[in-house]
Amino acid sequence: MANRTLRTSGHRGITDKVFKHLLKGEKISSVDAYELWREMNVRNKISILRGDGWPIRSEEKPSGKGGVYKIYYLDMDESLWPLEKGETA
């Protein structure tokens, strides 16, 4: 990330906690978010961060009850990360 200014999410609360969790290279699921922060709608927080330009990916895993659930993670290729306003690549 040389010569780049990291654009932070600019959000507070759970959205910021999800952002910081992903920024550390951690993955998050709905169950994880509930256990960590009692957040029941992590999908909404992911949508907000994606709307800010963050390249958040997801993968589906079987739930054990015949369904699937999603695990979200930040693509760690920093060239895909949003720039600060006014900054060029």
Q: Walk along the chain (89 residues) and give the pLDDT tens digit of each residue.
A: 444 445 665 778 999 999 999 999 999 999 999 999 999 999 999 999 999 899 999 999 998 888 999 999 999 998 999 887 656 66
Residue type, 52: D
User: CA 6 to CA 64: how far, in whole Å?
Assistant: 39
pLDDT of residue 84: 72
Overall fold of domain 13-77: Arc Repressor Mutant, subunit A (1.10.10)
pTM of the model: 0.82
pLDDT of residue 9: 59
User: CA 11 to CA 80: how far, in whole Å?
Assistant: 20
Domain segments of the chain as ranges: 13-77
Task: Select from 36, 38, 21, 2 the least CA-distant residue to 74.
Answer: 21
